Amino acid sequence: MPARSYLTGLAFLSPALFVLIGFFFLPVVLTAVFAFTNMSTSTGISGGSYVITGNLLGSLKAQGVAPTVVDALSQASFVVDEQSIAKAQAAGTDAQFLAEIEQQLSGKAFSEERAFERELKSLRYRPRSIRDLKLAVDQFELSVLNTRFASAAEAREAVSELVPSAPADVVDEIVDASYTGWRWTTSNFTRLVSSSDTWRLVGNTIFYVAVTLSFTVFVGLFLAVTTFYLPAGAASAFSMLWLLPRITPVVLYTVMWKWFTWEGGFVYTAAQALGLPAFNYMKGSVPTAWTIVIMVNGFIGAAFAMILFSGALKAIPVQQLWASEADGASRWQQIRFIILPHLRWPILFVVSYQTLSLLSSYQEIWLTTNGGPGRTTTVWALESFNTALNSYTGNLQYGLGAAMALILVIVGVALSILYLRLFRFDELLSRPKIEF
Amino acid sequence: MQIVLKDFTKTFDGNTVIDRMNLTVRDGEMLALLGPSGCGKSTTLFAICGIHRVNGGQILFGERDVSNMPSQQRNVGVVFQNYALYPHMSVFDNIAFPLKVRNDSKADIARDVRTIAELTHIAELLGRRPGQLSGGQQQRVALARALVRKPDVLLLDEPLANLDAKLRLEMRSEIRRIQLETGITAILVTHDQVEAMSMCDRIAIMKGGQILQIDAPKDMYHNPRTSFVAGFLGNPPISFLDGRTMDGRFLDEGTGVTLPLPAGVTVANGTGLTVGIRPEHFGHAGDVPVRGKVVFAETQGRENLYDVALPNGALLRSVQPARDDVRPGDEVSWQLNSAAALFFTEDGRRL
């Protein structure tokens, strides 16, 4: 029986488990895996092959590989031997012509294409058209340049054949460098640590989270307390109005902010009429861009905070408010000494919840300033998204983006643990904080 | 300080709950507002402390018209039914709150809180939180908080309703002791006649937003002005018999009970009357024998309580020193003290 009841329990839990594994653990695990690779659009996410390109040879030379070897690799040569004749035969070169080549030129090698071509032109059975002749010439070319080798061994063989004098370790180095697929690496992290951009991003992110959070809490408190003192009808109309940022779809909401702040928008027109500087406030200057980013996100958070705070306010026994008035407390003293202490736990909840959600949110910034002007309002999550999934140049760096995302996950988990400890959420959940 | 309500009127959403009420609470007196729920007693209290706004008339604290002042400026001390202590503050901070919000110095606050805590016997609890106190202790803290800034009037809204029976008895005398020691004018709202009678100098009985009678407990008990007042005071309650006048006497035709009317009262023959007989005036001493059948008996230790059904079904209650010779079902003929009978007209007014 116990086994059966466990199975039943598991069956009931399984949808939740699938969702948890599929939509939370798996993405986190994949992010962690990707973070330790150099995957990008150019490497692809499956395996690669070995290709020696002109660019690669250039960089090898710069890295100190012997110039003689590099030059030898970069040069094509034309060799007439059994191998190349067989290759030409397979490619469909005229048999008589081929026999003549074998007879006359066997064992010869040419370092220049033109010399070999001239030699072929002098043969009796040469093809009539230049194009066919060129095709025949191509069959005898021996070169590693831009040739795709499926395995490292093949590439190594080809290189050794072309440059027999190259030492084995140099060959290995060249072959290794010619790999086009992704590989395991920690360079994403070393790159992040050493880059000065990273620290600016960190600074931006901390600034963004701290200021938006303060905005959220203060505006949320202000709205909740003011609606609390309003007559019921006015209060519900007022709070519905302030819920709009929360319930409007993000895209629509940001578009409205654009209408509001762009050239010809409301603020622009108003500023113009008042003789104040009028420009695209969203993208025209750093202070206005930050102000708008903070307000766009802050009002969404404030709507959320307002709901929570309003609920907590309604839970305060009305006699305590009456008592404080009879005790002589002014409105402000009543808020300060009675209402705010009752809101302590909701405030802590909003702070911790919003920290985590602000850290990982980028869509509002992406849709408004898009991190601009320049990269002044770019935060960590937006940069991570752009790096991995939205590169302007077209090379998406999955590995680097995943590394950034992984750091965000780690920071988020660390902060959650800190908040759980600091604010003793277990206590908050187990016992009501408001005593009657 | 003397508290005066002049033509006090209160309406809620257009419903007039209290219409032109007049009430004077004397300086240093403890007055009970007593009545069934919905009679407007709490509304009156909340209007005096400023939680409810006055819709008409005046409220005077001494010479000061406070009708349109907010609570903060009235200098009232209020004890709420659920005490309304601030749960996040210690007992000390709770009591100190009224002083703190008017910016008294720390030393003054500490001294005043200690004085009032000693008066209310909670000096050793000052460091605790309200959640760590018993109901009686919370009640004392609420009293201390209400009294600490020496208010003009102490308002108590059903202060004993949330206590168990034993604590209720204890706090009844405690509240009275503290009120007498401080000499403060106090108004007690209660629906419990025992509380009102035992704690207060005078009682105002309310019904439907009106004060029916205002008197000292003893006068109220012996001289009720209406049958409602007579019925509301007294435990076990008074019993009523219906009848009419006949040759200057009261006659209940159903039972044959005949009683002399009070001296100096003349009523036309055949006028409908109601007579009220308190349980202590039926049973052991009197001048009019009444026959009936005991239908209910209750032993309370020191005395016994009987319900006697008369032949027409009317009930008379009797309270007597404990005896064990009468059981339910017994036919009895007990004496009724006609001198203590209270006569009311059919619309409830006392003759």
The domain in which residue A156 lies consists of 50-177
Closest-approach residue (CA) in chain A for B145: A327
Res A431: pLDDT: 56
Are residue A199 and residue A105 in the same domain, yes or no? Answer: no
Q: Using a CB-CB distance cutoff of 8 angstroms, which residues of chain A are in contact with residue B87?
A: 434-436
> B147 burial class (0-12, 13-18, 19+ CB within 10 angstroms)?
buried
Q: Which of B88, B101, B130 sits opposite A327 (nearest CB)?
A: B101
Percentage of residues in chain B having pLDDT higher than 70: 100
Probe site for chain B from A327, A333, A433 (most B CB atoms < 10 A): A327
**Whole-structure pTM value:** 0.72
Are residue A86 and residue A168 in the same domain, yes or no? Answer: yes
**Of A143, A177, A211, which residue constitutes the final position of a domain?**
A177
Q: Mind telling me how many Å the CA of B215 is from chain A's nearest CA? A: 29
Residue A430 sits at the vertex; the CA angle it makes with A426 and A436, to the nearest 5 degrees, is: 130
Number of neighbouring beta carbons within 10 Å of residue B113? 23
Sequence length of chain A is 436
Convert the pLDDT of each residue in B155-195 to its tens digit.
999 888 888 888 888 888 888 988 998 889 999 999 888 88
Are residue A232 and residue A275 in the same domain, yes or no? Answer: yes
- Domain CATH for B317: 2.40.50.140
Closest-approach residue (CA) in chain A for B153: A326
Given CB atoms, is A330 within the 8 Å cutoff of chain B? yes
Q: Is residue A79 helix, strand or coil? A: strand
Are residue A242 and residue A211 in the same domain, yes or no? Answer: yes
Res A140: pLDDT: 76
**Of B184, B199, B232, which residue constitutes the final position of a domain?**
B232
Inform me whether the pLDDT recorded for A292 exceeds 80: yes
The domain in which residue B288 lies consists of 239-345
Any domain includes B191: yes
Given CB atoms, is A360 within the 8 Å cutoff of chain B? no
Q: The complex's ipTM?
A: 0.83
**Of A142, A177, A212, which residue constitutes the final position of a domain?**
A177
Q: Which of A323, A338, A436 sits opposite B78 (nearest CB)?
A: A323
Q: Do A338 and B86 touch (CB under 8 A)?
A: yes
Res A426: pLDDT: 64
Q: Do B84 and A323 touch (CB under 8 A)?
A: yes
Given CB atoms, is A327 within the 8 Å cutoff of chain B? yes
Domain count for chain B: 2
| Two structure tokens written together for B269 | 């023959």
Q: Using a CB-CB distance cutoff of 8 angstroms, which residues of chain A are in contact with residue B75?
A: 328
Closest-approach residue (CA) in chain B for A344: B88
Res A219: pLDDT: 93
- Domain CATH for A332: 1.10.3720.10
Q: Do B97 and A434 touch (CB under 8 A)?
A: no
> A344 burial class (0-12, 13-18, 19+ CB within 10 angstroms)?
middle
Are residue A169 and residue A208 in the same domain, yes or no? Answer: no
DSSP string over A264-333? TSHHHHHHHHHT---S-TTTS-HHHHHHHHHHHHHHHHHHHHHHHHHHHHHTS-HHHHHHHHHTT--HHH
Closest-approach residue (CA) in chain A for B155: A326
Convert the pLDDT of each residue in A297-352 to its tens digit.
999 999 889 989 988 888 888 889 999 988 888 889 999 999 998 888 888 889 88
How many beta-carbon pairs below 8 A join chains A and B? 73
Convert the pLDDT of each residue in A362-407 to its tens digit.
888 898 888 778 888 888 888 888 888 887 777 888 888 889 999 9
**Of B208, B232, B256, which residue constitutes the final position of a domain?**
B232
Are residue B139 and residue B211 in the same domain, yes or no? Answer: yes
Are residue B215 and residue B248 in the same domain, yes or no? Answer: no
Q: How far is CA A257 from the centre of its chain?
A: 25
Any domain includes A37: no
Q: Mind telling me how many Å the CA of B130 is from chain A's nearest CA? A: 9
Confidence band for A17, pLDDT divided at 50, 70 and 90 = very high
Are residue B193 and residue B252 in the same domain, yes or no? Answer: no
